[in-house]
Amino acid sequence: DAKTTQPNSMESNEEEPVHLPCNHSTISGTDYIHWYRQLPSQGPEYVIHGLTSNVNNRMASLAIAEDRKSSTLILHRATLRDAAVYYCILRDNYGQNFVFGPGTRLSVLP
């Protein structure tokens, strides 16, 4: 699976939008882009995934660049509960396990 690069940490104010970037310049045509987050003392939880088109769900939006070499996870209104480590991961149709990097630690300020 191709590698991703994320900032180590980011800060946001409560109730403001947050844009978490992810670079994946070596992505292949069959790689899905997954985002998981890990709240303190919990296991990772699914946030969103996409292949080519932008995606929206109740938790977040995923904006995928046209060349697919980068993507952005968008939290529309950050809450204190959104403080977590966010992981951007690529996985193709043949890969089973996720290969986690260090992720981005998001702090949300009241």
Partner 1 sequence: GAGVSQTPSNKVTEKGKYVELRCDPISGHTALYWYRQSLGQGPEFLIYFQGTGAADDSGLPNDRFFAVRPEGSVSTLKIQRTERGDSAVYLCASSTNGGGGPYEQYFGPGTRLTVT
Residues 36/106, Cβ–Cβ less than 8 Å = no
Residues 44/33, Cβ–Cβ less than 8 Å = no
Three-class secondary structure assignment of 33-59: EEEEEECCCCCCEEEEEECCCCEECCC
Find the binding residues for partner 1 in span 60-79 (CB under 8 A): none
| Three-class secondary structure of residue 22 per DSSP | strand
Q: Does 44 bind partner 1 (CB under 8 A)?
A: yes
Q: Does 7 bind partner 1 (CB under 8 A)?
A: no
Q: Does 28 bind partner 1 (CB under 8 A)?
A: no
Q: Does 5 bind partner 1 (CB under 8 A)?
A: no
| Closer residue to partner 1, CB minimum distance, 43 or 110 | 43
Residues that bind partner 1 (CB under 8 A): 30, 32, 41-46, 49, 51, 85, 87, 91-103
